[in-house]
Amino acid sequence: MTGAQRPPATTHPAVLVVGASRGLGAAVVEEYAGRGAQVVATVRGDAPTPVQEVADRAGGAVEIEHVDISRPGEISDLARRLGGRRFDLLFVVAGIQLAAADASAASSSDADFTAMMITNVLGAIRAVEELGELVDPAGTIAVMSSGQGSITNNTTGGFEIYRATKAALNQLMRSYAARRAGEARTLLLMAPGWVKHRTGRGGCAVDRPGQHPAARRHRGRLARAHRTALPGPERGHPPLVTGAGVPSRRDGLPRFGPGGVEQSAMDRLGNQRIADARLTDWRKLAQGLAARFVLDGPGAAPAFVSEIHAVAEDVVAHADVRLARGVVDIALCTRVDGRWVTDRDVELARAISAVAAARGARPAPAEVTQLELALDTVREEAVAPFWAALLTGSTDNRVYDSVFDPTDRIPSAWFQRTDLPGPVPQRWHFDLWLAPEAAAGRIAAAVAAGGTVVDDAGAPAFTVLADADGNRVCVCTSLGRG
């Protein structure tokens, strides 16, 4: 290796992306190429596509192959063309949506139904079966499914055939994993969250040139709403962090580890499932649930906390409790492999609310808040250990892209990958998480005090504000995040 060469900033140096013409697929290709991988990207047809522009900018790091996965012969031909190569990652992203959003399955045409089933289900699993043989025995096979494939979460209807294709794809991948149980490859189902692209109805804006990194990062979070991930290049961190609809780590879809063993992601609740639980005293903030209860009289707050512990002993393990001048602030989350909301946290929240109601404690959910620190960087691995050691006393307190102090003496910090290699005008910024009903009033107060709204295209999920000197902050809520 010469001094001018650098190892790729990913553990997937050779990547095959099926269905990369535009949108999600093109974003995956661009991200991996930017991290030093050699990427083979498939497109359907000969018309110009956005991924071709990515390839033109990549300086030979991206190769384009023409494949229509609805035609099994073309998948086999591609497997033969690539037969002498080994890939660390196969990512099948291809999918189409043809039927009207509000059309029932029964009213849809046979042609639309057949085309969607063949492309989204049969073509995708055929690609996994045939092209998966090109993946290194210790590599990864990932398939882009969708949260709309969830039966439990389908409370609104719509997109009936598309939902059915993703549910079928989930089943076929589970069967594939069962048949390959003795193998070491990692198998993953992914969900992108809400994404604005040609196959769907859209739900968020994608990255725009000139955006401040704070806006770019939150645009990405919005697009990634549910959080699932490929095994990351840095201690499990998601390797994909662009704002064009790439996935992150938390989701209700099954995740399969080595040997096809399903990993425990099903109990990690997304924002919609938390909202469906109707925890009126609680609000979802950055990672967990938060509540504030107001009590009158001396000794009322400590007595309330004692009663909570008597009713729900797990509250000690799951909750952070703060007493201050007639109020009790409680934050709930499960601290396993990061920080998440699980069914157990929802049960504890209900139990705590019942104690509060019996004691006459007044809930004040609009007053909850959480502050996060965000650092823009092109080299997370170079700076994250420093900040973990400085802020918490140990480099072991890094989880994915974040630093958490075990006892929450400081706000959590996380590292936003930026594509600006030179000096960045503002590397640190605050993420202020508020109850949804409080955000508009807080933003108005900040503007009245001399601030400006820089970017509200992502509202209500996030709004970027700036003070008179241009220092920026994101006001965040759980709404609009899936």
pLDDT > 90: percent of the chain: 44
| Model pLDDT for residues 58-97, shown as the tens digit of each residue | 999 999 999 999 988 999 999 999 988 999 999 999 888 8
| Model pLDDT for residues 334-374, shown as the tens digit of each residue | 887 778 898 888 989 999 999 999 999 999 999 999 999 99
Three-state SS letters, 236-280: CECCCCCCCCCCCCCCCCCEECHHHCEECCCCECCHHHHHHCCCC
Residue with the larger pLDDT of the pair 232 and 85: 85
CA atoms of 84 and 51, how far apart (whole Å): 24
C-alpha dihedral sign at 252, 240, 143, 112: positive
Average pLDDT of the segment spanning 42-54: 87
265 band by pLDDT with thresholds 50, 70 and 90: very low
Q: Residue 461: CB partners within 8 Å, gap ≥ 6?
A: 204, 218, 221, 222, 476, 477, 479, 480, 481
> Mean pLDDT, the chain, as a whole number?
79
pTM attached to this predicted model: 0.50
Please give the sequence-ordered ranges of beta strands (E in DSSP) within 427-469, or none if there are none: 428-434, 452-455, 462-466
Three-state secondary structure call for residue 310: helix
Is 384:309 a contact under the CB 8 Å cutoff? no
262 band by pLDDT with thresholds 50, 70 and 90: very low
CA atoms of 220 and 217, how far apart (whole Å): 5
143 band by pLDDT with thresholds 50, 70 and 90: very high
Helices (H) and strands (E) in the chain, counts: 13, 21
223 band by pLDDT with thresholds 50, 70 and 90: very low
In the chain the domains, ranked by start, together with CATH numbers, are 14-191+226-266 (3.40.50.720), 272-366 (3.30.1360.20), 367-476 (3.10.180.10)
| Model pLDDT for residues 115-141, shown as the tens digit of each residue | 999 999 999 999 999 999 999 999 999
